[in-house]
Structure 1
Amino acid sequence: MKPPDPLPEGDLLDRALVAKDANPATARKPSTPAPDVPPSLYEEHTTVHPKRIDGRFRRFKWLVMLVTLAIYYGTPWIRWDRGPYAPDQAVLIDLANRRFYMFDIEIWPHEFYFVAGLLIMAGIGLFLVTSAVGRAWCGYACPQTVWTDLFQHVDRFVDGDRNARMRLDKAPWGAGKAARRFWKWTIYLVISFWTGGAWIMYFADAPTLTREFWAGDAAFVAYATVAVLTATTFWLGGFMREQVCVYMCPWPRIQTAMLDEKSLIVTYKHWRGEPRGSLKKSQKNPDTFGDCVDCNQCVAVCPTGIDIREGAQIGCITCALCIDACDKVMKEVGRPRGLIDYATLEDCEREAAGHAPRPVIKTLMHPRTLIYFGVWSAIGVALLFALGSRERTGITVQPDRNPPYMLLSDGSVRNSYTVKLRNMQSRPREMELSIVGLPGATMWTDDMNRDSAARAIVREVAADVALPLRVYVMAPRGSEEQDFSFKVTALDAEGETDSTETAFNAPEAP
Structure 2
Amino acid sequence: MSDNSPAPSLYAAREPIFPKRVYGRFRNLKWFILFVTLGIYYLLPWIRWDRGDALPDQAVLLDLAGRRFYFFWIEIWPHEFYFVAGLLIMAGLGLFLFTSALGRVWCGYTCPQTVWTDLFIAVERWVEGDRNARLRLHRQKKWDLRKARLNLTKWALWLMIALATGGAWVFYFADAPTLARDLVTLNASPVAYTTMAVLTATTFVFGGFAREQICNYACPWPRIQAAMMDEDTLTVAYRPWRGEPRKHAVPEGETQGDCIDCMACVNVCPAGIDIRDGQQLECITCALCIDACDDIMAKIGKPRGLIDYMALTDEAAERAGNPPKPIIKHILRPRTMIYTALWAGVGFALMFALFIRSDLELTVAPVRNPIFVTLSDGSVRNTYDVRLRNKTADQQTIRLSVKGHPSIRLQLEGSPYQSVDVAPDATFLQRVYLVAPSGSEPAEAARTEVRIWVESLGGGDRAYRDTTFNGKARQ
> Structure 1 length normalisation: TM-score?
0.88
Matched, 1:354 2:321: yes
Deviation at 1:98, TM superposition (A): 1.3
Stretch moving more, 102-111 or 200-209 = 102-111
Matched, 1:504 2:469: yes
State the alpha-carbon separation in 1 of the partners of residues 48 and 474 from structure 2.
62
State the alpha-carbon separation in 1 of the partners of residues 456 and 114 from structure 2.
50
- Of 126, 143, 150, the match for 2:112: 143
State the alpha-carbon separation in 2 of the partners of residues 173 and 258 from structure 1.
48
- Of 336, 343, 346, the match for 1:379: 346
Matched, 1:107 2:76: yes
State the alpha-carbon separation in 2 of the partners of residues 468 and 509 from structure 1.
27
- Of 487, 491, 498, the match for 2:457: 491
Stretch moving more, 362-371 or 194-203 = 362-371
- Of 420, 423, 428, the match for 1:462: 423
- Secondary structure of 2:382's match? strand
- Structure 2: which amino acid aligns with 1:175? L
Stretch moving more, 257-266 or 287-296 = 287-296
State the alpha-carbon separation in 2 of the partners of residues 379 and 509 from structure 1.
44
**Cα contact 1:50–1:302 (8 A) shared by 2:** yes
State the alpha-carbon separation in 2 of the partners of residues 93 and 301 from structure 1.
39
Partner of 1:476: 437
* Larger Rg, first or second structure (1 or 2): 1
- Of 419, 430, 450, the match for 2:386: 419
Partner of 1:60: 29
1:509–1:140 CA distance, 2 compared to 1 (3 A): closer
Deviation at 1:424, TM superposition (A): 1.1
- Of 172, 182, 186, the match for 2:156: 186
- Structure 2: which amino acid aligns with 1:208? T
State the alpha-carbon separation in 2 of the partners of residues 58 and 237 from structure 1.
18
State the alpha-carbon separation in 2 of the partners of residues 468 and 54 from structure 1.
63
Q: Deviations over 1:457-505 (max 9, x none)?
A: 112222111111122322223513222121111113x422110112223
Partner of 1:312: 279
- Structure 2: which amino acid aligns with 1:129? F
Matched, 1:276 2:246: yes
1:141–1:415 CA distance, 2 compared to 1 (3 A): same
Q: Which runs of 5+ in 1 are unaligned?
A: 1-35
- Of 212, 226, 233, the match for 1:256: 226
- Secondary structure of 1:508's match? helix
- Secondary structure of 1:72's match? helix
Deviation at 1:438, TM superposition (A): 4.2
State the alpha-carbon separation in 2 of the partners of residues 286 and 334 from structure 1.
21
State the alpha-carbon separation in 2 of the partners of residues 38 and 341 from structure 1.
43
1:65–1:100 CA distance, 2 compared to 1 (3 A): same
Stretch moving more, 314-323 or 175-184 = 175-184
Matched, 1:49 2:14: no
State the alpha-carbon separation in 1 of the partners of residues 474 and 37 from structure 2.
68
1:439–1:246 CA distance, 2 compared to 1 (3 A): same
> Structure 2 length normalisation: TM-score?
0.95
**Cα contact 1:86–1:426 (8 A) shared by 2:** yes
State the alpha-carbon separation in 1 of the partners of residues 368 and 160 from structure 2.
56
State the alpha-carbon separation in 2 of the partners of residues 133 and 380 from structure 1.
22
- Secondary structure of 2:388's match? strand
Q: Map residues 207-222 of structure 1 onto 2, 5 A cutoff.
A: 207-222=177-192
State the alpha-carbon separation in 2 of the partners of residues 322 and 341 from structure 1.
9
Partner of 1:32: none
1:185–1:509 CA distance, 2 compared to 1 (3 A): closer
Over the matched positions of the two proteins, sequence identity in percent amounts to 55
State the alpha-carbon separation in 2 of the partners of residues 261 and 38 from structure 1.
42
- Structure 2: which amino acid aligns with 1:467? F
Q: Which runs of 5+ in 2 are unaligned?
A: none
Stretch moving more, 232-241 or 430-439 = 430-439
- Secondary structure of 2:84's match? helix
State the alpha-carbon separation in 2 of the partners of residues 331 and 203 from structure 1.
51
**Cα contact 1:438–1:475 (8 A) shared by 2:** no
Question: How many residues are matched?
Answer: 468
Deviation at 1:101, TM superposition (A): 1.0
Q: Deviations over 1:298-347 (max 9, x none)?
A: 01000010110110001000000000000001111111110000001101
Stretch moving more, 415-424 or 291-300 = 415-424
- Secondary structure of 2:473's match? coil
Stretch moving more, 397-406 or 379-388 = 397-406
Matched, 1:299 2:266: yes
Partner of 1:392: 359
Deviation at 1:374, TM superposition (A): 1.3
Partner of 1:245: 215
Q: Deviations over 1:189-213 (max 9, x none)?
A: 1111110110011111100111112
- Structure 1: which amino acid aligns with 2:219? C
Deviation at 1:112, TM superposition (A): 1.5
- Secondary structure of 2:149's match? helix
- Structure 1: which amino acid aligns with 2:168? A
1:38–1:323 CA distance, 2 compared to 1 (3 A): farther
Partner of 1:28: none
- Structure 2: which amino acid aligns with 1:155? E
Partner of 1:345: 312
